[in-house]
Chains A and B, each alone.
Chain A
Amino acid sequence: MQQHFRTIDPGAGKVPQPDELLRVEDLRTHFHTRHGIAKSVDGVDFHLSKGEHLGLIGESGSGKSVTALSVMRLVREPGRIVGGSIHFEGQDLLGLDAQSMRRLRGSRISMIFQDPLNHLDPVMKIGDWISETLTLHKGVGRKAAYVEAARILKVLKVASPEDVLRAYPFQLSGGMCQRVLIATAIITGPALLIADEATSALDVTVQASILRNLDELTDIFGTAVLLTTHNMLVVRQACTRVMVMYGGRIVESCDTDVLFRNPMHPYTVGLLDSVPALERIGEPLRPMAGEPPLPTEDIVGCKFYGRCPIRRPVCQEMRPPLAEVESGHWSACFFPEESRSKISS
């Protein structure tokens, strides 16, 4: 067995980097349900630098949304953050009282969700909706806030921002509503924007255009992005670094192009092989066997054990730590080198 673990934290070392914005350590968010304790987030470590675009990819139930909600401290009962720490701009978020947290949300950390129509007030004009954030957090007057809102909608390639500001949500298309949510989230110039499957409900052409505009906008404000998605394409377009999540744990973390070129975890390999891609025309799909484990299952070793094509007894007895295999490339597998060569040949 290869022994090349250095540390279990992909941020390397406990000393905060100068440009570090967010550091999550051993985060555990559990849901106490009738069927037992669902460990939706089961020991997650990661960090995010200022202005960085980080992707969090996983299938439904992998814990990516709960991770995002945990950072916002928006996990609802019966869910609870039961362990770990979240440091944002040097502050311990889990130690903050509710009021300080509320002040942070919308001004320093913002979030956008998958279903834009459900996150807009149906009886509020778009202009009031967007500018309210700015008025509340920055004390900007209504008129000035409207001007700023129009300016941001322009960057988002909205043809006639003034008309949109006067409209109600039901008068807008899904893509337009999502642009409005993005504008609302970013108008205060937050340091971190969390996008939870923000483009999943949109058409590919609209998705591509929104992701590009989001990129421009976050550059203007220097905002970092944590983007959760199940779509490889989205990660590829929008993120420089990516983490793969499975069963509430991060199983691989590296630069985005490295992930597609040289995946180092059997789950990532399986995921890539089961998505039809226009770059790999003619190749057969090789779907993974089996289903992900239930979040209530008590698993000591690797959560992917039941479906893994290269498993060995040790994987069932011990949790493989997230270890740096190559510089900047982390994998939670005991046999990372075998992942690619053995499975896809």
Chain B
Amino acid sequence: MERLFLSGGIKIKNLILEVVNLKKHFPARGGNPLVRSERTVKAVDGVSFDIREGEVVAVVGESGCGKSTLGRLVIRLIEPSSGGIRLSNEDVTHVQGEELRSLRLKAQIVFQDPFGSLNPRMTVGASIAYPLQVNRLFKRGDKEGVEQRVKELLERVGLNAAHAKRLPHELSGGQRQRVGIARAIAVNPKLLVLDEPVAALDLSAQARVLNLFKELQRNTGMAYLFITHDLSVAEYIADRILVMYAGKVMELGPRGGVFKTPWHPYTEALLAAAILEGPSSSDATILDGDPPSTIDPPPGCRFNTRCPHAGPICAAEEPALVEVQDGHMVACHLLTGKLQRRIPASTRIPVSA
């Protein structure tokens, strides 16, 4: 089993998370209830990457590409169908019970919806204290210790001790998200999975929460798996970018590389959609159509149905993830020379420093 991992199961310093060929297939529901469905949703279909200590990896992609499922797999809210996950050099792919619980001390998650992820009947203080008590980080009856820690956590996320007595509905969206963050960092995790943590916030609250993430990361050295659909947010926060499409990794590389010289046509299209200049701007790279269904996805490259360059090979053969530059990996037939670029790359944006 250990052979699965690139590290060969050997302890590697600084390595927080290692994910190898991770898959999650769900049985597809719907259709005729009388006919037993054999179809599966391949939400995550062979994803490999790693995260080092203090590193921020952003997972970007459209809705339905499997990025949230990936986040849930990583902290084992759901169990993978196959593949492997190593957290701080420990195989956690199929851990259960007490082991699973101790995993939560290392990895925590902040959800998108700050309204749905807090218990409306629990005060903010109680919500934050809960992980401390469940994980027995304080002695039974050490009320003062817990209270002190809650206060500390509230202050660290930009709230104050008075907020501990409030109920979620008394807070704004941005404040609620801060409570979610305080709860997640309460156990001093090494890895924080952030699942669209600013998508539900207003613009000005969004900026403040993003700055809070940066500051927390600087001060604590936590690593983030930052899931977002917004490329500019990813650019702002991440060291490395992982571009997902229909359950697969299309491109993975350092931020500068991915944004300055995107290799994959899908990354190009995402960037083009995110930096449109105006109604008259060149829009050769605007994609038509919708992402493919991950129920029985198209054969070959998953992107071939929308790709402006696609040729016969793309529908026949799945491109492998190949390293094009130091640490910059791309899965596209354009790289192997079996496919010609139809339109010139247009979205290289000038990046200062």
Contact = CB atoms under 8 A, between A and B. Distances in A.
B278 A285 contact: no
A215 interface: yes
A274 B206 CA distance: 8
A277 B349 CA distance: 12
A60 B202 contact: yes
Interface stretch (B4-12, B84-92, B229-237): B229-237
B211 interface: yes
B324 interface: no
Contact of B235 (A159, A173, A273, A281): A281
B38 interface: no
B290 interface: yes
A278 B272 contact: no
B269 A237 contact: no
B78 to A, nearest CB: 23
A176 interface: yes
Interface in A272-311: 273-279, 281-282, 284-288, 291
Interface residues of B, number: 43
A275 B207 CA distance: 7
B63 interface: yes
B312 interface: no
B283 A212 contact: yes
A316 interface: no
A159 B289 CA distance: 8
Contacts of B207: 273-276, 285-288
A312 interface: no
Contact of B290 (A176, A208, A237, A284): A176
B279 interface: yes
Interface residues of A, number: 42
B274 interface: yes
Contacts of B352: 281-282
A287 B230 CA distance: 18
A121 B4 CA distance: 51
Contact of A287 (B62, B204, B233, B269): B204
B286 interface: yes
Contacts of B236: 276, 285
B204 A205 contact: no
Contact of B231 (A204, A274, A285, A291): A204
A270 B204 contact: yes
Given A209-B286, A275-B203, A237 B172 contact: no
A151 B231 CA distance: 34
Given A237-B279, A278-B231, A204 B273 contact: yes
A236 interface: yes
B320 interface: no
A288 B207 CA distance: 8
B309 interface: no
B178 to A, nearest CB: 13
A238 interface: yes
B162 interface: no
B313 interface: no
Given A230-B202, A274-B206, A288-B204, A257 B278 contact: yes
Contacts of B232: 275-278
A82 interface: no
Contacts of A273: 207
A161 B210 CA distance: 42
A271 B273 CA distance: 21
A281 B204 contact: no
B287 interface: yes
B77 interface: no
A26 interface: no
Interface string B329-353: 0000000000000000000010111
B259, B271, B273: residue with the most chain A Cβ atoms closer than 10 Å: B273
Contacts of B291: 203
Contacts of A20: none
B273 A205 contact: yes
B310 interface: no
B204 A274 contact: yes
A57 to B, nearest CB: 10
A284 B274 CA distance: 19
Given A274-B207, A285-B236, 14 more contacts: A60-B202, A203-B291, A204-B274, A205-B273, A206-B62, A212-B283, A236-B277, A238-B279, A275-B203, A276-B233, A276-B235, A281-B235, A281-B259, A282-B353
A-B pairs, top 5 by smallest CB distance, nearest first, are: A274-B207, A287-B207, A208-B273, A203-B62, A276-B236
9 contacts: A176-B290, A206-B62, A206-B290, A208-B287, A209-B287, A212-B286, A275-B206, A279-B275, A288-B204
Interface of B: 62-63, 172, 202-208, 210-211, 229-233, 235-236, 259, 269-279, 281, 283, 286-291, 349, 351-353
